[in-house]
Structure 1
């Protein structure tokens, strides 16, 4: 006699949830990986990436170290790039390829090894793939894809450390944390929050892992040499960004964290509503020792809060400086989705769908209008190529900006001549200075040499008064000039007429 079976509602619900989750994951992989590949495709190196090209192309290790001591980004990014350049060269593709591959591999590694709970690691991978701010940085020759990958590795190692504190696990976490800080000092915030949490949760067991601190030594040694330069740019008399106003913080926090204002508010509202419903249903959670997963999510929130508080007090903040904190924050978002989905999958899937739509919108905008990303306009590669269509031995470079005015002339000369030298021109570069109240056209023309038919590369990324606009052709008809300007980005190249 055949036994009748009764379907299990929980099994059916879990099966439906897995089906929807796999469909969401597939969409996230297509959009997230595709966006990383396409965002910067066929674009020239923008201005900041030119510094990477210059530093990676240094001919000696002492020259590399000297450059690293005079740059905000640290040696954990530039030294591997310097080694890579000796193998692959300094073309646009060669300079961007390591970070592009890293940005593609990071969510895939999480999908495979991110956590022993398959559903949790799938949610984490989904939110890593669909975090909109990663797209502009994924394919560029700057440190942020490496910082993001190190943040993911730091979060995963922190979980293992909380599960079972050992000196080996602590050492691995310290090494990755130091590398992240040696990419950018703002990564000290997630490291500090996680380290204090480790001590608070494990106390004596944490103290017994003290030999791992030996791997901290490179950090104070390098910071002793490098940090004064960084602080000189961001504290006291800096020409950089002012401290973040509190009103701007409250208004723009969704944009800072999720890269989208209206959709970011929606995601925060969905999470808050879901948690409120859980409290109404189950009551307030009892105070108890948090799980490693909960501790990591809270650390992500805590490190972002710390960064934003500092941003209100000190100049020099940019939302991209939260890059190292975002993997643990997105893990917390994944943890919320993992726990909420079995009861009611609609809200987690809605939050993911909103981020998916945001990322599709970013991609559609940048593919239709590449100039919508101002960085694609702030570049010297096309102006240099236009100048280089004719023989050039001497270039006068003028960066009309307070940072340019205070920057070292020899280093600016390397940046200004990078593309011409890469193209094979043996060019000398002179850097013009024109303080407020002076005519920059006269200052630029004073450095030209008619015997060498000097070229001119003049650019600014600030709104400037009319008196500081280029009038080279008017003052010296021997020059022909071409503007490569969009919006507030003003780039003008001039070359000798035939």
Structure 2
């Protein structure tokens, strides 16, 4: 199969359903990217990411606007070129003239987890691209013993950009350092100087990291459920990461079938991985396969262990190691001596990928939060005597983005505080009581865990007349009862 056809195929797969509604984080990105340059940095404190992607999107939005498709196109682009970088790495890892580099590119082109985040106006697809590029130049630099200045310069540049795109890039850098130390020829001062330079160039980002860490700590302290929202449980984290890497964002609602599918995938993929590193019950590796192995395992294990102290583990944050996942699968397949087995395994993985992608495409449940539909519904059904209500002001962004300003929005809690009775009692102190309230039951478990709001509405003689849902966005309609 021609590489260009694979790239076109991967690009097309990333365009399907690109006009989905923005979800919460994307609307924050859309609004802040359209704000002033100073306003962009004001909002950075609440987002646990370095500034590179925000700067890129600020420039992009001021040129092309902040519509759904326009804002997601950079992720589509970076997601597509990542396929090509994976192909280049596979040519280093495997025989250049074999079919396996093309198989690696095909795996990445059809990867369901990567396709999902290549359609999101967030940093993750960009980070995966920069991580792959950093690894590619790291391998080039290792291969020529650091003697070619161009390889070293490109390695430093792409690694610094990676660190400015995502803090998880630090884990990739640590994995590279450990791999280089094991490869004895790179226990030298030149390599150490490069790492010191990379760290020095990253230093300006540390004050922002500290500020964001303090904001996250404040949220964890004030909101008892915050840790559960942003962090997977320690025991579920690794198995769920494997499932997401394999199947993407879809799930199977029957737990027995879900467990059976997960077990089959784990045994099958695990056997392929082990085949790449074991022969006659002996562990075997070359320098390049060791680098890819460290690229996959290093960030995952470090993020997993750190989550015990800093709750921030989510599989999507580890998209930057997904290329290593597929490269090691191809590496394991290449070590089978029977060609028919190689082809069956490769086709099997592509089928798993495409079935998962198809389920994501055609089942709206797996699409993003439908804020566009929710806000449109409120503004079509309501009138000048209606009011929209949210548990927390931290979630106002999607409503602001999609609203035509027909129905005003009020938030019950400020910042990272919980909804309190006094917030509710003061709700109508400065405004007339509305005839109808649309209560957006969004993150209510986090900000209103005692469900104070519905009880208070009943006390105020409102009656819940219906509840509708727009893909994870629940709306309760409350109407004032006139005696």
CA distance in 2, matches of 1:206, 1:350: 46
* Change in CA separation of 1:355 and 1:456 when aligned onto 2, cut-off 3 Å: same
TM (norm. structure 2) is 0.77
1:98 is aligned to 74
CA distance in 1, matches of 2:282, 2:411: 64
1:71 is aligned to 47
CA distance in 2, matches of 1:229, 1:293: 36
1:164-185 deviation per Cα after TM superposition (whole angstroms, max 9, x unaligned): 2145433322322232232221
1:387–1:455 Cα contact (<8 Å) kept:
no
Quote the offset at 1:208 in angstroms. Answer: 5.6
**Residue 198 (structure 1) aligned to one of 173, 180, 196:** 180
Quote the offset at 1:192 in angstroms. Answer: 1.3
The answer as to 2:15 corresponding to 1:37 is yes
2:440 is aligned to 458
The equivalences for 1:68-467 within 5 A come to 68-111=44-87, 115=91, 117-119=96-98, 120-164=100-144, 165-166=146-147, 167-201=149-183, 202-203=185-186, 205=188, 207=190, 210=193, 213-230=196-213, 232-233=215-216, 237=221, 239-242=225-228, 244-245=232-233, 247-249=235-237, 251-252=239-240, 254-259=242-247, 261-271=262-272, 274-275=275-276, 279-280=279-280, 284=282, 290-338=286-334, 340-341=335-336, 343-371=337-365, 373=366, 376=368, 378-389=369-380, 398-400=389-391, 404=392, 409=393, 413-420=396-403, 423=404, 425=405, 430-433=410-413, 435=418, 438=421, 445=428, 448-449=431-432, 458-461=440-443
Quote the offset at 1:312 in angstroms. Answer: 4.6
1:70-102 deviation per Cα after TM superposition (whole angstroms, max 9, x unaligned): 212331111111111111111111111221222
CA distance in 2, matches of 1:209, 1:345: 43
Unmatched tracts of structure 1, length 5 or more:
1-21
2:256 is aligned to none
CA distance in 2, matches of 1:495, 1:51: 31
CA distance in 2, matches of 1:203, 1:394: 71
1:158–1:173 Cα contact (<8 Å) kept:
yes
**Residue 62 (structure 1) aligned to one of 14, 31, 38:** 38
2:333–2:346 Cα contact (<8 Å) kept:
no
1:300–1:329 Cα contact (<8 Å) kept:
yes
Superposition RMSD on alpha carbons, in Å? 4.1
CA distance in 2, matches of 1:71, 1:160: 34
**Residue 490 (structure 1) aligned to one of 464, 470, 474:** 474
2:179–2:290 Cα contact (<8 Å) kept:
no
Quote the offset at 1:46 in angstroms. Answer: 1.6
* Change in CA separation of 1:417 and 1:253 when aligned onto 2, cut-off 3 Å: closer
Quote the offset at 1:231 in angstroms. Answer: 5.1
CA distance in 2, matches of 1:413, 1:314: 26
TM (norm. structure 1) is 0.75
The equivalences for 1:2-13 within 5 A come to none
* Secondary structure of 2:91 counterpart: coil
* Secondary structure of 1:308 counterpart: helix
CA distance in 2, matches of 1:391, 1:100: 37
CA distance in 2, matches of 1:34, 1:470: 49
* Secondary structure of 2:133 counterpart: helix
CA distance in 2, matches of 1:206, 1:336: 34
CA distance in 1, matches of 2:319, 2:34: 26
1:68–1:75 Cα contact (<8 Å) kept:
yes
* Change in CA separation of 1:439 and 1:450 when aligned onto 2, cut-off 3 Å: closer
1:5 is aligned to none
1:436-474 deviation per Cα after TM superposition (whole angstroms, max 9, x unaligned): 6639865655565569x9985623145566654488699
CA distance in 1, matches of 2:4, 2:466: 46
* Secondary structure of 1:324 counterpart: helix
Quote the offset at 1:49 in angstroms. Answer: 1.2
* Change in CA separation of 1:71 and 1:314 when aligned onto 2, cut-off 3 Å: closer
1:234–1:316 Cα contact (<8 Å) kept:
no
CA distance in 1, matches of 2:304, 2:455: 39
**Further displaced range: 465-474 or 216-225:** 465-474
CA distance in 2, matches of 1:90, 1:317: 29
1:50 is aligned to 27
CA distance in 2, matches of 1:392, 1:81: 36
Which protein shows a greater Rg?
1
* Secondary structure of 1:185 counterpart: coil
1:13 is aligned to none
Unmatched tracts of structure 2, length 5 or more:
249-261
Count of aligned pairs between the two proteins = 449
1:12 is aligned to none
